[in-house]
Each structure stands twice: as C-alpha cells, then as structure tokens.
Amino acid sequence: MRGKKKLIIIPIVVVLVVVIVILNIRREKGGVRIQTAKVTNADIVSEVSAPGKVEPVTRVQVSAYVMGRVVELPVREGDWVDEGDVLVEIDPVNYQALVAQARASLELSQARLRQTEQSLQRTRELFARDLISKEELERVETDWSVQRAQVARDQAALHQALDQLSKTTIRSPLSGVVTQLNVEQGEVVVTGTMNMPGSVIMTVANLSEMKVEVEVDETEVRDIMPGQEVEIAVDALGDTSLIGIVETVGEAGVETMVGGEPQTNFEVSTLLNKVPPKLRPGMSAVARIKTASRKDVRAVPISAVILRDWEREIEQAESRSPGRRSGGREATEQEESPGEQQREEGAREPEQEGIVEEPVQEQSTEQAGEGDAPSAEELVSGQAGGESTAETAETEGTAEETEPDSTAEEKVGEVEVVYVVQDGKAIVRRVETGIRDDNNIEILSGLELDEEVVTGPFRVLRTLKHETRVKVDNSLVREMGDRGGRRQ
C-alpha cells in the first residue's frame, strides 16, 4: 500500500512543479505588475504630529497655609470667582487665642520697659553725684536693653499670630473658574512639610487662555522652534480644528517606558489663538506642527522612495548587464584561435610546478567583452565612462596601496532610490530628497518632470531589481480614487 501511495504522490508533485515553473516563465515574459505615478510639481508642507492634553495657561492650586477645620466653603466646582473673593474659611478660634496671648505678652514687656527706663534715669542722676558706682549704672543700662529687645520680640510674635489668623480666610489669587474642588465643609486641612505635601483645597484656572502640552519624539523635535504654526484637533470637538503657535520647546527630554522599551520625548507647549467655549482642561488633542513648506517643487508619492544598499544594487545590476553575463565570456573564449589556446595550455604547466602567474590575458579578454555594453553604474546612476584596470593588474604593489582608499570611497551604504519605468523595465535611480508630507516627498535631484516611477505594490517594490521587466497596471489605484470620490 505504501508503495502504491508513493507512486501516486510522485507524479502529482512533478506536475505541480512543472505548472509552477510554467506560470513563473509566463509571468516573467509578461512582466511584474506594478503601480506607477508621474513626477509632478506640488506644494508640500512638512508636519510633526504629536499627542497632548489641553491645559490652561494660568492655573493655581490653592493650598492651606494653616491647619484647621473648614467651616465655610462658599464656592463649588465650576463657579466663576474674581480675584480676592473668599474661597475657604478655616476655624479661627485657636488662632484668635494666639493673637490675644501675643498681644498680652507685648503689653507686659512694654510695661517692664517703661519701669526699666525710669530706673535707668534715677541711676544716672545718682551716678552724676557720685552716690553709686559705675558697675551699678552699667547693670541698669543692661536691664533696659534686655527689656527693649523683649518688646521687639513680642511685637514680632504678635505680627506672626495676626498673619496666621488672616490665613484662616483663603481668597482667590486670580479671576477664573474653580476647575477642581478637593475638600468639603467640615474636613480638616493640613499644611505641607518637608516630607509630606499639604492639602490642595481646590484649583482655580483662567480658561480664557488655553494651551496644548504635547510630547514630541526625540527624532522629530530638532525641526520644531517657537513661533511655528500649529493645527490642533481635539477629540471632544469632533472635526473642529484649532490654530495656535509653538510657545516653548523643552530643553531636557523626559524618558518613559513604552512596551518595555525606554523612549525619550520632549515637551512642547503650543498656545491657542482662540479658545472655543466647550474646550475644557484635560481634553485629549493631537497637534500637527508645521515645520517647513515648499511651493511648486518636484515631488513623487512617498511609497516610491525606498532604501537600498547601493553597493549591492550595483553588483546585482552588473550581473544583469549584457557585457557582464557569463554568455559573453564564453563566446569570447570560443572565438580564441588555436594558437591562443596552446599558449594558455603552456601557461598552465608552470602553475602545476608551483609557479602561479597573474591571469592578465583573461582580464584583457573580459574587458574586451565589456566594451559592447555600458557598465552597471552607468545604468543605475546615469554616469558614463570608466577607468581601465589593466594598469592595476600590472603593478600589484600600487593596487594594494590604493585599494583601501577606493573601497572607502565606494562604500555608500543604504541610500534613497526610486525605480523609473523605461522601455518596459524598472531602472533603479538614486535620488536626493527634501521635506515630505503625508502623501508626497520632495525630489531635489535624480528625477525630471513627467518621468514615471514605481509606487507599488509594496510586496513587489520591496524585492524589485534593476532592469526587471514590468507591466504597468494602475486600475486598482483608479478604482480606489473613484471610491474615495464617491464617499466625499
């Protein structure tokens, strides 16, 4: 039974392989289906998008200056208050007692000071008539100085007690709205210490001036500066867009953990030009900061520009060039005369005896085969001409000295490229880009107007090679555009 199953499975696998090969051959002949777009002139506005929260420009957290029980709370959350209005009354009984005590101490010290002044006056009269010693006079003068200092200390204590008593009545420091109320009448509030914050009774904010605090990624904050225009979308306001300007850009980054990975953001404050009535502190918003703009510049869709390893792309292009293919080499070798073949066989004999010679003849023959077609670098970058390597083969020492410098110059790494459609083939082209928006990217060099570039699909563009045969099919793009137009 197992043998019969194998006999049935093997032909099926062979048939599937043949079908796949045939389909691939047909697809290669017809070309890879791609989507394209023309190089056009467009207006581009570069923006940085970042989430944030709506906050009032001026906001004050009202805290307790003295400890006590709240006996009066004349305002509620959402109430408008003017500067100087009473917000909270704390039980003043204890602080009134402290004022009375300080006042009594001051009166006592003032009475003692008057008594000491009278004693000092009599002592000076007696000392003038030589009836008492100088030491007695100095003792009375010292008592008078002590009593005068005591009066000053009691006066300061009275001022302190009066100040604490006045702080049992808390007044609004600004005109605004009570946006948050944290206590109720009858609760006890405490003052802050070094190790424990005090009670925040309420928050008063001026809602006529609002801002949006956003967090911008460290890779994008370099393009942001004060004065740039900002378009703000608040989730709670629907499609309404608000306009503002960048007010400040944070100088130090704030590190947060996102998905277990550290991420550094910078706080950017944007000031709204106009505040709608329904805007409230704490609402979520998204700010689009306009960092740069260009008018009527060459542009292509963002999807057309991809990153490629330039050296690898050149190598792969060279392997596809007609003069570089193995067929040209084999044809050149077949055209060699019998005498040349004998000379090559004679050259192999010293090699077997341990003498290795440079294959100068092979290099010359290979270069002769390359003369019929342009180099790969000419195809991918548009540069013509090349330098012969025959002199390098003759002087090995010179080649070893110059090779590190030339290698360093050739190593470019990943660069931005596009694929231009020419004669039914995708030709790789290196480009220099500028700013970008959500759809287009500015082309500074490498493309001309009305040239056709490959824009997708991404799965094709990701693996597309130089000189691949392609077939333009923009039907899907037009269909999506028609659907978008009907929705609008």
How much is the pLDDT for 386? 37
Give the pLDDT score at 371.
41
| pLDDT value at residue 7 | 65
**Residue-wise pLDDT tens digits, 26-65:** 555 567 889 999 999 999 999 999 999 999 999 999 999 8
- What are the pLDDT digits (tens) for 210-234? 999 999 999 899 989 999 999 999 9
Tell me the whole-structure pTM to 2 decimals: 0.59
* pLDDT band at residue 159 using 50, 70 and 90 as cut-offs: very high
What pLDDT was estimated at residue 331? 37
Q: Which of 339, 338, 356 is nearest to 347 (CA)?
A: 356
Residue 294 pLDDT: 92
Dihedral angle sign, alpha carbons of residues 467, 471, 472, 474: negative
| Residue type (1 letter), 159 | H
Q: What is the SS3 assignment for 263?
A: strand
Distance between CA atoms of 198 and 191, rounded to whole angstroms? 4
Average pLDDT, the chain: 79
In the chain, % of residues over pLDDT 90? 54
DSSP assignment letter at 64: -
Binned at pLDDT 50, 70 and 90, residue 239 comes out as confident
Inter-residue contact 124 to 138 (CB < 8 Å): no
Burial class (CB in 10 A: 0-12, 13-18, 19+), 84: exposed
Residue that has been written with the tokens 């694929």 in this structure? 419
323, two tokens: 């003069």
**pLDDT given at position 123:** 92
Alpha carbons 54 and 58: distance in angstroms, whole number: 12
Percent with pLDDT over 70 in the chain = 73
The whole-number pLDDT of residue 387 equals: 39
> Does pLDDT of 395 surpass 80?
no
Domains of the chain: 49-54+206-294 (2.40.30.170), 92-167 (1.10.287.470)
Crossing angle of helices 134-166 and 93-128, in 10° steps, is 160
